[in-house]
Amino acid sequence: MRSILGMLAALCSAAALAQPNFDAVQIKTTKVAEGVYMLEGEGGNIGVSAGEDGIVLIDDQYAPLTPKILAALKAISDKPIRFLINTHWHADHTGGNENLGKGGVVIVAHDNVYQKLSKDQFVRLLNNRTFPALGKEGLPIITFNDTVTFHLNGDEITVHHIPPAHTDGDSFVRFRKANVVHTGDVFAAYRYPFIDVETGGSVPGVISAIDALLPTLDDQTRVIPGHGALSGKKDVAAYRQMIATVSSRVAAQVKAGKSLEDVIASKPTREFDDVWGKFRKGDQFTEIVYYGYAPRRK
């Protein structure tokens, strides 16, 4: 049987020939709390802190969208962008790094993000794609190994590295006063996530990260996901239930020696597909989880 990975490769090859029409992308701005905003376009959601001390960005989508993102920021504040925080290394969250770095923005990320961005990255699960290293202007100037806190715009913005989850360089970004958290791609709202087990990600690690996050949220906390709509604690809890259920089913079958085809045929995502399968299908997510538990193929 042809694997879902093979089918995905064919689909991604076709998509690679037809690059996204960035000219058609519109940047949507949502006010999350006083001085905190979420920008949606093409790629990961952007977090914004805007106030008297300037602008702090969390992630920056793709390079061709930088002018549109700057225009959206101009509508929020006429202050300069002082810092850019990368939640992880993936190109849909760091594609604008070089543009912003050339403009003097200080880029901040975990140590492992610097390591990934400074070298070519090959990801077989993403259509055998190589992501070229960024130039000097796109690399983090400041890196950290645990946490770093910004005292800006009347708030404490703490960037906290978590153990391997979506990648090995993920960070949560918390706005203490505003009661807002940007999760990067460790949490995606009502869509099956990609877990990059080839660059240090971990399926159990995603569950552990969400388990650590949930007790820090209350019913008023606004959560900016890596992808999807603005969320709250109940949405994160639903995500945790989905991933834990699917991964436990898949892990048990991997332990029993079942093949990928057998696991897919068992439909471990069956009751979640209607809600979570609109972007990435259940069989595709099953394959991602499978290779999170099965020995890697050579």
Domain locations in the chain as residue ranges: 4-232
- In angstroms, the CA 167 to CA 21 distance is 27
Q: Do 150 and 56 contact (CB within 8 A), yes or no? A: yes
Model confidence at 18: pLDDT above 90:
no
**Mean pLDDT over each residue of the chain, to the nearest integer:** 93
Strand 46-51 versus strand 54-58 pairing type:
antiparallel
Q: Phi/psi class of residue 74: alpha, beta or left (left: φ > 0; alpha: ψ in -120 to 50)?
A: alpha
**Residue 45's Cα: distance from chain center in Å?**
8
Please report, to the nearest 10 degrees, the dihedral formed by the alpha carbons of residues 197, 198, 199, 203 taken in order: 0
CB neighbours (10 Å) of residue 6?
11
Q: Do 85 and 109 contact (CB within 8 A), yes or no? A: yes
**Which helix (H) or strand (E) is 90 found in, with range?**
none
What Rg do the C-alpha atoms of the chain give, in angstroms?
A: 19
Q: How many residues does the chain have?
A: 298
Provide the pLDDT confidence category of residue 19 given band limits of 50, 70 and 90.
low
pLDDT, tens digit, for every residue of 179-234?
999 999 999 999 999 999 988 999 999 999 999 999 999 999 999 999 999 999 99
For CA atoms 296, 14, 116, 61, the dihedral sign is: negative
Q: Do 32 and 15 contact (CB within 8 A), yes or no? A: no
Q: Do 61 and 87 contact (CB within 8 A), yes or no? A: no
Tokens of 165: 């989850």
Q: In the prediction, which pLDDT does 124 show? A: 82
* Class for the domain spanning 4-232: alpha beta
Provide the pLDDT confidence category of residue 128 given band limits of 50, 70 and 90.
confident
Of 294 and 240, the structure prediction assigns the larger pLDDT to: 240
Q: In the prediction, which pLDDT does 28 show? A: 98
Of 10 and 41, the structure prediction assigns the larger pLDDT to: 41
pLDDT, tens digit, for every residue of 43-92?
999 999 999 999 999 999 999 999 999 999 999 999 999 999 999 999 99
- In angstroms, the CA 285 to CA 287 distance is 5
| CA distances from residue 285 to 44, 46, 289 in whole angstroms, order as listed | 19, 24, 6
Q: Do 49 and 36 contact (CB within 8 A), yes or no? A: yes
Please report, to the nearest 10 degrees, the dihedral formed by the alpha carbons of residues 192, 197, 198, 200 taken in order: 130
- In angstroms, the CA 279 to CA 8 distance is 13
pTM of the model: 0.92
Tokens of 196: 């990059």
Q: Do 280 and 194 contact (CB within 8 A), yes or no? A: yes
Task: State whether residue 155 is helix, strand or coil.
Answer: strand
Model confidence at 10: pLDDT above 60:
no
Q: Do 237 and 214 contact (CB within 8 A), yes or no? A: yes
| CA distances from residue 184 to 193, 240, 254, 255 in whole angstroms, order as listed | 11, 15, 28, 30
Tokens of 22: 């960035």
